[in-house]
Structure 1
Amino acid sequence: MRDHAPSMLPSLDLRGTAVWQALAVAGFLLIAVTLGGSSVGGVPSNAVLQIAAVIAIAATFARANPTPRATGERHLLILAGLFGALIVVQLIPLPPAVWSALPGRRIVVEGFTALGLPLPWMPLSLAPEKTVQSGLSLLAPVAIIVMLGAFKRPVARAAVLALIVLMVLSVLLGVAQVAGNEHLYFYEFTNGGSAVGFFANSNHFATLMCLTLPLAAGLVARWRSASDGAGGASRVFAAAVLLAVVLLGLLGVTMTKSVAGVALALLALSGSAAIVLSGLPRGLRLGFLGGVVVVVIVAAVVAFNSGIGDLTTTDISSSDLSRTAMWRSTAQAIGDFGTAGAGFGSFPQVFHLFENPERVSAVFANHAHNDLLEFVLEAGIPGLLVLGAFLIWFAVRVGAVWLIDRQRDPLAQGASIAALIILLHSLADYPLRTGTIAALFGLCLALLARDPAGRAADEAPAAAQPGRHLSA
């Protein structure tokens, strides 16, 4: 077989079924990014995403070996199963003597008593329909985890490349929105005048920008590694891709007018630098560090010009309901419901019971803007146990991919930074309540769970045979 001339485009090593697997993952990400941008205003589009997730899971089990190849992947699926089981338990009808004795149910009992009605059988969840929707929202991230766990290893790099393309399209859409094209906002309740892309909320658009940066850095580092056989031209191309993604990501964050987005961009750039700087030429290292300085300056300018005295308000412009006020009321609700939880998705129904009547306004709190507090309120102690197990798994995997030589993988390192960005933003917002960010969180966890040894074995045949391949 004749040798091929070196290509400027780094190889993805996609052959045979891997090509179709990569297209399947890219197609699913396309659906997730374009249709999963709202937690409440996009019910029909989220339903399409969930149907696509069911099809993806079923097709993976039918045509690929769905058995996880790494311990981290198996543990991740077990955690997802525990979370799903917790949701099912919340939907099981309970006899009156049981549910009425649960914390926080006194007001429900008083309602039936005032109406002169006997207490019926009821589930633990105070909002069963919303709890079902919460369970369905698990389908998108689980679909990504199952696909990347079963498909050939190079498909993961193709998935990140697809995400970069979708991020570029989102930025272009955001530019058009800021330019005054009001018909390009896809949701009724949105941040008009700011870039939101395919989202309803500009903060979630900023999350997409920030999480893409370290994933792009990980992809570039993989392209640059000797195992990929990247030549000098392809290394230059990879560095150019990263620079373009960084500039577009910073442009997107700036257009959101999101203070949290600017702060997360600093984390994204710092993590990206840690991944790629070690192998870059001195000139490119200086250029990347210069980009960090630019972001710091932009952050200072945005914060100075925002006119905000309290950076914890729900919106960067104005709001009658601050995050701190919502957190206090949510903490009070946890005191009443926290042991057993109020049920996933029940926050809007529960929160208004703890609002100060003298401060109630037209602003409606659909989420606590702190997913940790909201999760504790809705899931109670059982949910905290599952969350604690996940955080232990996450910490172990992050430590492994950064500190253990044989576990180091630039793509997994980028995924760890991206997942951390999502988790940190969840302390002041609710990005994981959107189908898009939930699916991308699943992508990050799937990359983080992979076994580098298994990856190397899976890619060895491709590296040994210099035949035809798909480049990108």
Structure 2
Amino acid sequence: MRKDGAGGTPDLIGGVAAASLLVVAMTFGGGPRGTGDAVVHLLAVPALWLGVTRWRHHHASALQRAVLYLLLGAIALSALQLVPLPATWFSVLPQRGDVISDLIATGSAPAWLPMTLDRWGTVRSLAALATFGASWLLASSLSVDTRERLLQVALVGAAAMALLGFAQAAAGSHSPLRFYDYHHPMGAIGTFANRNHFGDLLAMLLPFSIAFGVMAQRQRVQALVFLWYGLTVVLFLAAALSYSRTGFALACVAVVASVLVLRPVGRPAARTSVKHAAPLLAGLAGVLAVGYYAWDGIVRRLEQDPLEDLRWQYVQHGLTMARAYLPWGSGLGSFRDAYAPFEPVDAMGSTHALHAHNDLLQIGAEAGVPGLLLVLGFVGLLLVAAWISLRRNREQEDPVLGAAAIAVFVPLAHSLVDYPLRTLAIAVVFGLVLAVLTVGSRQQGSV
């Protein structure tokens, strides 16, 4: 069992804790907030403690330190929104004057109020940040081999969800295999409440199944070659059977990018051989499976007018809300209550707008300019990290690094039309992917 140089806990203990958080998040963290999220948060506590005790700042890469600073900045911003302010200070913040007036009218105006309009929503956001941070921090402190085993655990979990999704699609809308009453009664949905998030998770993991297939080819382990490329076909088909238009589109982009990025370099003859065409053949097999099993459902989904989706209405009125709450925002987790007054009565439907379905917009509305600056810094950091990983993938022929550079942008792209990273199952896996991306080369040790 490996210990880090400063006498931290063995990799075995850290790996078990990280794997436990990963499995529990993928099993219970795909639904709406509630008991499932509470279970994930609870298991994140020991993972966070282990991550903190194993962290060695002087051993960390520049990318890891930058992620840590941004994460601490986001946590600090969330915590500051919970700090009570004098009512006179609170009233000068954007849109807070009406809140004070309403409280005075009811005779319950307190002398001190937090900046956020939904303190429990902000507490939930803070807990979600800590859970994501626990996943990234602990995974960053582990050895390269342990992180790769964690990725394989995630792929096995995704395979189990895909098989469950096949059964759900075959059983129909009233199947007891669907664990949530609300959201998407058709197709495959796994352990999620939202088919879009299920498709997002599969798309994020697809590059790694291809990467492990490439590694198995180089090691000439034929059984693993068939296993990983077979898993690629299974995950791709499950993404199609989710009938999520965006999720399946992201899966297609992830597979195409992986085939292009993870192909061998510097050996023209090898690139044309059947051996090195295996990723392409796996992708083609996935396309044939989709055409046979899922094409009719995909066509029906594509026939629906995307402009009739309520998410565009949420974005339209959410922009008005965001402008009204700038520069400080309404408070993390407060979108539902803060958005409602800005939605015209004649536009209201039977469902509540829990999220903006555009995370950039929602962060701007809830966290204001400070939140947008943190997001801008994070995206810039990811672009740098991805460029470095792609270069190392070519120089060192490390396909896992190339896969991480592709996978990390799947939920970010999806966040422009949805809110996948607010689902803990995706946030925890994303933390693991980010750890792979920011640690660097295979030769570099853990922190």
TM-score (norm 1): 0.83
> Could you tell which deviates more after superposition, 107-116 or 209-218?
107-116
Map 1:199-218; keep pairs closer than 5 Å. Answer: 199-218=192-211
C-alpha displacement of 1:312 = 4.6
> Could you tell which deviates more after superposition, 211-220 or 441-450?
211-220
8 A contact 2:82–2:114 mirrored in 1: yes
Q: Give, as a single letter, the amino acid of the residue that structure 2 aligns with 1:211.
A: M
Map 1:83-162; keep pairs closer than 5 Å. Answer: 83-115=74-106, 118=109, 120-162=111-153
Map 1:1-400; keep pairs closer than 5 Å. Answer: 17-40=10-33, 43-62=34-53, 64=54, 66-67=56-57, 69-115=60-106, 118=109, 120-180=111-171, 182-224=175-217, 230=219, 232=220, 234=221, 236-278=222-264, 282-284=273-275, 285=277, 286-288=280-282, 290-291=284-285, 294=288, 304-306=299-301, 308-314=303-309, 322-400=310-388
Distance 1:15 1:78, change over 3 A: closer
8 A contact 1:218–1:275 mirrored in 2: no
CA RMSD of aligned residues (A): 2.6
> Could you tell which deviates more after superposition, 238-247 or 392-401?
238-247
3-state DSSP class of the match of 2:163? helix
Distance 1:183 1:380, change over 3 A: same
8 A contact 1:39–1:435 mirrored in 2: no
Distance 1:292 1:30, change over 3 A: closer
3-state DSSP class of the match of 1:94? strand
Query: What residue number does 2:267 align with?
Result: none
Distance 1:338 1:303, change over 3 A: farther
Q: Give, as a single letter, the amino acid of the residue that structure 1 aligns with 2:241.
A: M
Distance 1:65 1:119, change over 3 A: closer
8 A contact 1:134–1:344 mirrored in 2: yes
C-alpha displacement of 1:51 = 1.5
Query: What residue number does 2:414 align with?
Result: 425
Q: Which runs of 5+ in 1 are unaligned?
A: 1-13, 315-321, 460-472
The size of the alignment, in residue pairs, is 427
Instruction: Quote the Cα distance in structure 1 between the aligned partners of 2:168 and 2:411.
Output: 24
CA deviations on 1:19-46 (whole Å, 9 max, x unpaired) are 4543332222111100111243xx2221
C-alpha displacement of 1:408 = 7.0
Q: Pick from 439, 443, 467 the counterpart of residue 432 of structure 2.
A: 443
C-alpha displacement of 1:241 = 2.7
Q: Give, as a single letter, the amino acid of the residue that structure 2 aligns with 1:25.
A: A
Instruction: Quote the Cα distance in structure 2 between the aligned partners of 1:15 and 1:451.
Output: 19
3-state DSSP class of the match of 2:92? coil
Q: Pick from 391, 396, 402 the counterpart of residue 403 of structure 1.
A: 391
Instruction: Quote the Cα distance in structure 2 between the aligned partners of 1:209 and 1:158.
Output: 18
3-state DSSP class of the match of 2:443? helix
Instruction: Quote the Cα distance in structure 2 between the aligned partners of 1:245 and 1:312.
Output: 34
> Could you tell which deviates more after superposition, 430-439 or 45-54?
45-54
Q: Which runs of 5+ in 2 are unaligned?
A: 4-9, 265-269
Q: Give, as a single letter, the amino acid of the residue that structure 2 aligns with 1:354.
A: F
CA deviations on 1:298-318 (whole Å, 9 max, x unpaired) are 89865532264422554xxxx
